[in-house]
Amino acid sequence: MQTGDRYIVADCGGGTVDLTVHQIEQPQGTLKELYKASGGPYGAVGVDLAFEKLLCQIFGEDFIATFKAKRPAAWVDLTIAFEARKRTAAPHRANPLNISLPFSPTSHLLRLRAVSTFCPRCLR
């Protein structure tokens, strides 16, 4: 790199994605910060929370809360499966990433709720 060159540092952490811009300065190759680190809640934790919110929209918050409390091992299995699929996601991919739900929540939910109360998009 040479004097005047600029580069971006992208820190993609669990909670946020932070971007900083530096420029190489003269005479000893020191750095000048052109844009201070800033970002938003776009890290892995935010994606996980959005997935849980989607599940709540589909199945209902009451069901998800009950499922997490009564079937913690199945909930962990579901989050592990989501984590594995999340790692294969890429912006250029158009095909859906499928995640299998544990069998127990599906049958339990059908006993608790009428099919007509599900998210309308899920009934297509």
Say which residue, 85 or 107, is predicted with more confidence.
85
Domain encompassing residue 32: 7-40
49, 21 Cβ separation under 8 angstroms: no
- The single residue listed with the structure tokens 């499922």 is 67
Q: Is residue 35 part of a domain?
A: yes
Q: Which residues pair with 18 in a beta bridge?
A: 11, 39
Say which residue, 76 or 35, is predicted with more confidence.
76
Residue 51's pLDDT band, with cuts at 50, 70 and 90, is very high
Distance of CA 106 to the CA centre of its chain: 23
Domain total of the chain = 2
Taking alpha carbons only, the member of 106, 34, 30 closest to residue 67 is: 106
pLDDT in tens, 55-73: 999 888 888 898 899 889 9
Residues 30 and 47 occupy one common structural domain: no
Q: Is residue 97 part of a domain?
A: no
Q: Is residue 2 part of a domain?
A: no
Residues 56 and 84 occupy one common structural domain: yes
How far is Cα 124 from Cα 122, in angstroms, rounded to an integer?
A: 6
Residues 47 and 82 occupy one common structural domain: yes
pLDDT in tens, 15-35: 778 888 999 888 777 888 988
Residues 27 and 50 occupy one common structural domain: no
53, 73 Cβ separation under 8 angstroms: no
Say which residue, 54 or 94, is predicted with more confidence.
54
Q: What is the pTM of this model?
A: 0.63
